[in-house]
Chain A
Amino acid sequence: MGKINLKSVYFWLIVLVFVLFPFVIDSRPMTILLTQIFIFAILAMSYDILLGYTGIVSFGHAMFFGFGAYATSVMLKNIDSSLTVFFLSIIVGMVIAGIVSFLIGLLTLRLQSHFFAMFTLAVSGLFLVLAEKWRSLTQGNDGFTFRAPEIFSDRINFYLFVLFCLVLVFLLLRLFVNSPFGKVLIAVKENETRTKALGYKTIYYKVVSSVVAGVAASLAGSLYVVSLRFVNTSMMAIDVTLNALLMTIIGGVGTLVGPIVGAAIIELAKHNLSILAKTYPIFERWIIFFGIIYILAVIFFPKGVVGTLKEKWEGRKMVRQQAMKQKEDAA
């Protein structure tokens, strides 16, 4: 009991530090960068529900991000830029994402895992073309700007709101993965055949997991466009999926903290590399560096930063416990 309390004390302390951060360090670029990190942390966490907890690979996460992005920007532009419309648009995006992820899951999750990866890639590719073609609504690749709700014109307010969303999503997802339902998901990841043999309808668990991930990704999309006050089709492009993948893999699959750390690492690295690129043009091709790191991580470092640290820590704890037990036995 005592340990759990200590953990949650640390957790709320960290949250408090970030709440106070913009008031202590008054730096607009830093606030914006942190906001971005939080938004991508939500996206990466949602991705990890699929990859790290259920063991399925989706290449269509950009699509769910895009649903949120377009729902929010279209509604804020065409209705009005009030806070009510903003919240409504988040819900609309989530509902669309939920329905689409439900249908995709139902169609492909009963097949081999390759099908889900392939099908999500194809469907999100088609949605991207749809967004490009449906110019009356989306204005295609040019995109459009819109007004954000009045209250968010203060960057700090928006920062706090995004931080609140991140903490909320983190707590909800933690509840989700620690519930009996979440345990079944992990069982599906470890050995689906055996889980089926134990009498679980694994397809049901996998579909729910894909819906949860899709809905959370849509929230990230809604927040992202408000931070930019702009939307275009690049928010549905495969790059978004790749971002989520990179963050999850490098941060650590199978933990919720991992994707958050991954989001911070990737966003900070990108930020610094884009500064470096001004002097060394080779860094304009930073995707190559990330890609190589990512490939090496998948082969040699499959647990990511957080996973590896956790393993080390737990290993040491085990050694300590064993030593204690030996001492007791001796005495």
Chain B
Amino acid sequence: MELLINLTINGLSTGMLIFLLASGLTLIFGLMHVLNFAHGGLFAWGAYAGVWFYSITSSFTVALIGAIIVGALLGFITERLIIRPVYGDVVPQILITLGFMLVISEMLKVVWGPNQIAATVPPALSGSWEIGDVLIIKYRLFIILMGFLVFGIFYYILKRTKIGLIVRAGVINNEMVQALGINIKRVFLLVFMTGAALAALGGALMAPYSGVIYAEMGMDFAILAFIVVVIGGMGSFPGSLFAAILVGLAGSYMAYYVPDLSLAVNMIIMVLVLIFRPQGLFAVKG
């Protein structure tokens, strides 16, 4: 039982980190059919920014807010400089975002050096609770709570506010929304910046969790996020949460019970989804 709870917590916290990355990816894709291959780079920038802000202010709140701001700014630059010139052109879009990923990952090495950097858990969140026999690591619980908090806030915005309505309508048919007199490009910039900020927040939360950060971490996590987007359905916000938790839990259980299969499990889920439900589990009807 104790083991099961711990594995679940591990899986959920990894899942939440992937969710923060995948949710932005899926909304950006849903709205503008842009698949942002540089998203992992934004995640890594968030991690570095978080660690840097924490090291100079030693306040974790400032670190998270700093990472979010850095992410949003980078999102602004990416959208304006990289995505806009090739807007609507699928192949150049895919090519150019991957190129940008390369550049920003290398920029990390220019700014902070090529070596790994250690990241520490803030004292308020370090340590663990003992409930009965079960040892719960505080920081992991914190990540899970943050994940659900972000999901709650964005779910509310998407379902209950005007801007949320526009975004959801845009996912279903963005030409129609434009025809109704809404500047969808401005909405897209906003969504893109939000997605980038979420990725950066994910990175900043990831840093103390893994203990070290390095420039290539973006790509490693981006691959998981892509798997999640395929499973959850491109454009679906709840789908990305569900699929991220699924991938996180599957990875965590498999790593313990059948370590040889832990790699293959994501792959198997993805292949099954592609065979039987290629539009994803939570496809958005358009």
Residues of A within 8 A of B (CB): 51, 55, 57, 59, 107-108, 110-115, 117-119, 121-123, 125-126, 129-130, 133, 238, 242, 245, 249, 285, 287-288, 290-292, 294-295, 298-299, 302
Contact = CB atoms under 8 A, between A and B. Distances in A.
Contact of B274 (A117, A119, A285, A294): A119
A59 B267 contact: no
Interface stretch (B91-99, B153-161, B200-208, B237-245): B91-99
9 contacts: A107-B274, A107-B275, A114-B94, A122-B266, A122-B270, A288-B106, A299-B85, A299-B92, A299-B96
A126 B267 contact: yes
A51 B91 contact: yes
Place the interface of chain B in its size category.
35 or more
Contacts of B271: 107
B122 to A, nearest CB: 31
B125 interface: no
B99 A57 contact: no
Contacts of B151: none
Nearest to B227: A122
Given A285-B109, A288-B110, A298-B96, 6 more contacts: A59-B98, A110-B278, A114-B94, A130-B263, A242-B98, A287-B102
Contacts of A113: 90-91, 94
A51, A130, A290, A291: which has the most chain B beta carbons within 10 Å?
A: A291
Contacts of B282: none
SS class of chain A's interface: helix, strand, loop or mixed?
helix
B49 interface: no
A233 to B, nearest CB: 13
Contacts of A245: 95, 98
Contact of A295 (B91, B94, B100): B100
A51 B264 CA distance: 28
Contacts of A119: 230, 270, 274
A146 B86 CA distance: 46
Given A130-B263, A291-B106, A57 B91 contact: yes
B223 interface: yes
Given A288-B103, A295-B103, A114 B227 contact: no
Interface in B84-136: 85-86, 90-92, 94-96, 98-100, 102-103, 106-107, 109-110
Contacts of B19: none
A245 B37 CA distance: 14
